[in-house]
């Protein structure tokens, strides 16, 4: 029996009663759907979308590009609607705005939508439904939270693993303005018949004696550092010490340094070094126990190149020197590696066309495992890692990740060796086996890893555990948390509704703190595109600032934050005010590496009213820099450069300050522009300044044009064919430049 709906392709999707019942609830109120992996959360979203599309646009959000592409393809395949598009950061803002206007359904990563809301390129007023996939991410400063704050329509949140605590589930509901929760477990009668069995096995291995000796040496060092921290009263006086306790000790040290300002005792800085050493050696022990010699040797190499005081001190420690020497002498790998090969080989013998996923926590291990598996007959393994480049290891860009998933589906690869990036959103029902190279303490990540198998048919999961190490503790911790999560979900179905109702009465959705005399929002709490005219305050922000919370806070104040690649400064508040924003740590680092004064010189030469915002606390405690040097730098900025310094507590305070200045400038008719008023410019600077005024011409491109043609007049005389020969000038940009220079001026 198949789903029947005018907008859903006939005879394509199996009808399941629990899905239709959940979808019906989701249409009545904003709902969080908690459903085991492989049970069709996306089908529920499809049913809700098919009903709501008549009421307005649909926004379908997912945390990664591969998952966005997966949902986009699913909707294109099964929904009878042509106007479906996909947003990622690779699509230009101008193109996204056009695509937004011309389509009914937008599938996107949340960061893109957040940035477009902040800059005023996207308005949520005509959105009838937002789907938040992997809704458990809706916490802290994640983009889901900001988007939901600016939206007041119907919300559908979906997750397989919301967390082990009722408080975590309630936080998600609060942040997404959820009014109801639909929870199903694999044990529920209406779901049970569709659940595939998963054969779960854990294989224990013994740590070789040589590696045990390394661990003993490193433990000696760790105990020495812990003893020192205990003498300062920074951790509990006896018993084992967890990684979390070591991290918490850092917060206590910083708090004590702050309390002793302006002259904290040297002993506190000594304690800070002890804590850093403990964290580093603790990580080395974990690598030795759970990963193996290659990963440990790579880590020792990184410590040798680490210039921090803690790293230098550790590498001089006699026990660490012995551990390094012993690690270099060992020619074998962790016994887990042989077990991975054995488990994969056994699966391939049983089923030649198997697809397998091996999860590793560390990149070093993923490379080692993939290389060893590729030495086996019939195995075609590939690494599936994140985008960031780490320690010389180039990450996979989003396009490459999507291509790799497709090749896995097409059987070009039959084994994926994945880090955490492979835990969410992969729709690969043919995966027959999942191998955990190590247990992980997170119940959410454990569920996600395990969910890569057992979707359409029974699957297998193998967890490798090193005896009498942290592996065992992590394994039992994960099981305990998962059991607790199931307990919470079973007992909170009815109670959550009551708690959500009580929570909604306390929190008025869509409102955030802002100055009382700030311009008010419209009824939906979202700025309309038509508002971005003369009656709206605009602030230009460097594109890198969109990674900060400052732009979010400005957006909450009804400011249109325009992203631009600024050569000088971080914010332009008017045609004369430019702001360099420095967090305390960045300020101190820029003092050391010499960037600070050149940046401020450029700022002063670019704006009549330059200013420096120094954000955060711990100016004299964050780094070991003398007070005299810091005061000297501050004095130079104010006295020699004539740039005022304003200190703010945090990003919210910075945003409030800039809003106040921008509003004052706006009241006097001064509008934010990318090119501040230049002063005391040389002839070449003035020429460049004029050329920068041409459409989409940056400072770098202005220099290229002037170098190519020799003068402003020559640029003005050049035709399109000549302009496009300059690197960075395309046909459209050349056309805009020619039109600007030659069109008749009309007042």
| pLDDT tens readout for residues 439-481 | 988 877 787 787 777 677 788 999 999 999 989 988 888 888 7
CB-based burial label for 394 (10 Å; 0-12, 13-18, 19+):
exposed
Residue 605 near residue 680, CB atoms below 8 Å: yes
158 and 32 belong to one structural domain: yes
- Our count of domains for the chain comes to 5
C-alpha 362, offset from chain centre? 18
327, 214 Cβ separation under 8 angstroms: yes
**String of DSSP letters for 469-531:** SHHHHHHHHHHHHHHHHHHHHHHHHHHHHHHHHHHHHHS-TT-----TTSPPP-TTSS--GGG
- Same domain (yes/no): 462, 371: yes
Residue 490: inside a domain, yes or no?
A: no
Per-residue pLDDT, 403:
85
State residue 645's pLDDT score. Answer: 95
| CA atoms of 205 and 462, how far apart (whole Å) | 13
Q: Are residues 383 and 413 in the same domain?
A: yes
Question: Does residue 313 belong to any structural domain of this protein?
Answer: yes
**What whole-number distance in Å separates Cα of residue 65 and Cα of residue 86?**
10
Print the domain residue range for 576: 531-667
Task: Give the pLDDT confidence score for residue 117 in this predicted structure.
Answer: 92
For residues 527 and 122, give the distance between their C-alpha atoms in angstroms, rounded to a whole number.
Answer: 9
Nearest to 300 by CA among 212, 218, 418: 218
Tally: H helices and E strands in the chain: 29, 19
Q: In what order do the strands lie in the sheet with 645-648?
A: 560-564, 538-542, 571-572, 577-583, 609-615, 645-648
450, part of any domain: yes
Contact 646, 612 (CB under 8 A): yes
Nearest-angstrom CA–CA distance, 567 and 698: 8
My answer on whether 538 and 455 are in the same domain is: no
For residue 369, the domain's CATH number is 3.40.50.300
The phi and psi torsions of 368 (rounded to 5 degrees) equal -60, -45
Specify whether 383 is located in the same domain as 435: yes
Residue that finishes a domain, picked among 329, 352, 371: 329
Alpha carbons 639 and 619: distance in angstroms, whole number: 20
Which pLDDT belongs to residue 491?
A: 64
* SS3 assignment for 171-223: HHHHHCCCCEEEECCCCCHHHHCCCCCEEEEEEEECCCHHHHHHHHHHHHHHH
* Residue 278 and residue 151 share a domain: no
Strands (DSSP E) along 551-652, which ranges?
Answer: 560-564, 571-572, 577-583, 609-615, 645-648
- Separation between Cα atoms, residue 474 and residue 477, nearest integer Å: 5
Residues 60 and 117 in one domain: yes
Angle of helix 699-709 versus helix 683-692 axis, rounded to 10 = 110
d(CA 434, CA 420): 13
- Judgement on whether residues 696 and 635 belong to the same structural domain of the protein: no
Helix or strand or coil: residue 418?
strand
Same structural domain, 234 and 156: no
User: Using N-to-C axis directions, what is the helix angle for 266-290 and 470-506, rounded to 10°?
Assistant: 120
| C-alpha span between 729 and 737 (Å, rounded) | 10
* pLDDT score of 199: 84
- Does 150 lie in the same domain as 27? yes
CATH, residue 538 = 3.40.50.10130
At 92 the three-state DSSP class reads coil
Backbone angles phi, psi at 592, to 5 degrees: -70, -45
Q: Which residues of the chain have pLDDT under 50?
A: 507-534, 676-677
Helices (H), 594-696: 595-606, 627-635, 651-667, 683-692
Q: Report the 3 state secondary structure along 426-438.
A: CCCCCEEEEEECC
Last residue in a domain, options 414, 436, 468: 468
At 547, give phi and psi (nearest 5°).
-85, -5
- The Cα–Cα gap between 217 and 415 comes to 37
Q: Are residues 722 and 661 located together in one domain of the fold?
A: no
User: According to the model, what pLDDT value does residue 64 have?
Assistant: 84
Whether the full predicted model's pTM is greater than 0.85, yes or no, is: no
Same domain, 164 and 45: yes
């Amino acid at each position: 029996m198949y789903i029947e709906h005018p907008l859903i392709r006939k005879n394509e999707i199996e009808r399941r009663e629990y899905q239709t019942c959940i979808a019906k609830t989701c249409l009545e109120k904003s709902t969080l759907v908690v459903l085991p992996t492989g049970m069709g959360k996306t089908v529920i979203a499809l049913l809700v979308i098919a009903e709501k599309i008549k009421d307005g646009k649909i926004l379908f959000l997912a945390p990664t590009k591969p998952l966005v592409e997966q949902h986009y393809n699913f909707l294109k395949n099964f929904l009878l609607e042509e106007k479906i598009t996909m947003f990622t950061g690779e699509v230009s803002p101008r193109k996204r705005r056009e695509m937004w206007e011309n389509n009914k359904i937008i599938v996107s990563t949340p960061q893109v939508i957040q940035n477009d809301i902040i800059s005023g390129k996207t308005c949520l007023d005509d959105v009838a439904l937002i789907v938040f996939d992997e809704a458990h991410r809706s916490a802290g400063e994640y983009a889901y939270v900001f988007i939901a704050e600016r939206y007041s329509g119907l919300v559908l949140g979906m997750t397989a693993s919301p967390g082990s605590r009722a408080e975590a589930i309630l936080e998600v509901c609060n942040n997404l303005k959820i009014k109801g929760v639909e929870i199903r477990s694999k044990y529920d009668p209406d779901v049970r018949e569709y659940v595939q069995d998963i054969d779960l096995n854990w294989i224990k291995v013994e740590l070789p004696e040589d590696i045990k000796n390394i661990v003993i040496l490193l433990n000696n060092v760790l105990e020495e550092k812990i003893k020192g921290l205990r003498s300062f009263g920074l951790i509990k006086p006896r018993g084992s010490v967890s990684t979390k306790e070591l991290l918490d000790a850092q917060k206590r040290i910083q708090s004590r340094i702050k309390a002793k300002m302006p002259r904290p005792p040297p002993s506190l800085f000594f304690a800070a070094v002890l804590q850093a050493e403990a964290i580093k050696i603790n990580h080395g022990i974990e690598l030795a126990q759970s990963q193996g010699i290659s990963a440990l040797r790579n880590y020792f190499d990184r410590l040798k190149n680490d210039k921090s005081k803690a790293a230098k001190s550790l590498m001089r420690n006699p026990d660490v020197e012995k551990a390094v020497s012993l690690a270099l002498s060992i020619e074998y790998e962790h016994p887990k590696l042989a077990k991975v090969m054995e488990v994969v080989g056994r699966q391939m013998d049983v089923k030649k066309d198997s697809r397998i996923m091996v999860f590793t926590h560390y990149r070093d291990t993923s490379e080692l495992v993939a290389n060893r598996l590729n030495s086996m007959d019939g195995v075609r393994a590939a690494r599936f890692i994140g985008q960031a480049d780490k320690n010389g290891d180039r990450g996979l860009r989003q396009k490459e990740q999507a291509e790799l998933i497709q090749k896995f589906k097409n059987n070009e690869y039959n084994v994926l060796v994945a880090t955490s990036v492979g835990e969410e959103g992969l729709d690969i029902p043919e995966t027959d086996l999942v191998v955990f190279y190590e247990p992980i303490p997170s119940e959410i990540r454990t569920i996600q890893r395990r969910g890569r198998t057992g979707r359409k048919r029974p699957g297998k999961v193998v967890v490798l555990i090193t005896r009498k190490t942290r592996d065992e503790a992590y394994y039992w911790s994960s099981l305990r948390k998962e059991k607790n999560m199931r307990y919470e979900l079973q007992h909170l179905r009815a109670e959550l509704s009551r708690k959500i109702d009580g929570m909604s009465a306390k929190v008025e959705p869509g409102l955030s703190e802002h100055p009382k005399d700030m311009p008010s929002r419209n009824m939906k709490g979202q700025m309309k595109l038509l508002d971005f005219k003369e009656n709206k305050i605009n602030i230009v922000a460097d594109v890198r600032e969109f990674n900060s919370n400052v732009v979010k806070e400005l957006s909450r104040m009804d400011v249109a934050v325009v992203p631009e690649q600024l050569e000088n400064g971080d914010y332009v508040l008017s045609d004369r005010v430019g702001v360099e924003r420095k967090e305390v740590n960045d300020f101190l680092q820029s003092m050391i590496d010499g960037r600070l004064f050149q940046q401020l010189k450029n700022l002063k030469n670019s704006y009549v009213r330059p200013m420096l915002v120094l954000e955060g606390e711990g100016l004299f405690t964050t780094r070991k820099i003398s007070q005299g040097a810091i005061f000297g730098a501050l004095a130079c900025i104010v006295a020699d450069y004539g740039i005022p310094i304003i200190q703010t507590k945090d990003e919210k305070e910075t945003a409030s300050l800039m809003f106040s200045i921008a509003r004052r400038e706006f009241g006097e008719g001064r509008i934010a522009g990318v090119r501040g008023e230049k002063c005391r410019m040389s002839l070449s600077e003035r020429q460049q300044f004029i050329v920068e005024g041409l459409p989409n011409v940056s400072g770098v491109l202005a220099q290229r044009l002037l170098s190519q043609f020799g003068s402003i007049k020559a640029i003005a005389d050049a035709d399109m064919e000549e302009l496009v020969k300059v690197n960075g000038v395309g046909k459209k940009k050349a056309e805009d430049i020619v039109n600007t220079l030659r069109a008749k001026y009309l007042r």
